[in-house]
Amino acid sequence: MRFSAVRAALAAIFLGLAVAGCGYNTIPTLEESAKAKWSEVQNQYQRRADLIPNLVATVQGYAKQEKDVLTSVVEARAKATSIQLTPGDLSDPEKVKQFQQAQQQLSGALGRLIAVSENYPELKSNQNFLALQSQLEGTENRISVARRDYIGAVQAFNTSLRTFPTVIWAKTFFSGTKPMAEFSANEGAQTPPKVSF
């Protein structure tokens, strides 16, 4: 009787080690990592959105006649902040694409706003504008890093759903788990910009 209890305990320990070492925890671990990376992407986009009202107000004080550009920035910001992507939406490529397009429109509008500032020397020398522009540039760099980290986490997660031994768990216990959508490059990103002097 005592021998069978020891065997049962040893079998339970062996089974526990086998399950722990076979990748069962890999799928949820990688999924949570990708979701955390997504949160950082959203955090950086929110940081950018928070800088925009101050930037627009500063430019508006110097460049009142640039109303169309200022309006396009405000509208693009409103659209970009209205599209919310939850971690559950990350497996829907269409929702990710809509989010990405709204953020790209905001980036384009901000680029036009910064270009307009070149026409106003007094604006370009304004300390508030220079500080906001510097913060915006830093935020754009943070967005790039956060997106890169998210793409890496999604790649690891999606790969785990298709590789051995985690594919076994993906097909059984995690059969409802879908691959997450990645960011894609902007249209025309592979085409170098034209520079003329």
pLDDT in tens, 85-102: 998 999 999 999 999 999
pLDDT of residue 116: 86
Nearest to 103 by CA among 145, 152, 143, 158: 143
Instruction: Find out whether 106 and 80 touch, Cβ atoms under 8 Å.
Output: yes
pLDDT of residue 195: 35
Coil, strand or helix: which one is 64? coil
**Which residues does 48 contact at the CB level (< 8 Å), separation at least 6?**
106, 136, 139, 140, 143
Q: What are φ and ψ of residue 181, in 5° steps? A: -80, 145
Give the E-state strand segments of 23-176 in sequence order: none
The token duo for 16 is 């526990």
The token duo for 10 is 């040893």
* Positions in the chain whose pLDDT score sits under 50: 190, 192-197
Q: Residue 163 has what DSSP assignment?
A: S
What rounded mean pLDDT belongs to the chain? 86
Instruction: Find out whether 112 and 106 touch, Cβ atoms under 8 Å.
Output: no
pTM summary value = 0.80
pLDDT of residue 117: 85
Nearest to 114 by CA among 152, 73, 83: 73
The angle that helices 26-62 and 127-160 make with each other, rounded to 10 degrees, is 160
pLDDT of residue 169: 87
Q: Does domain 45-141 have CATH number 2.60.320.10?
A: no
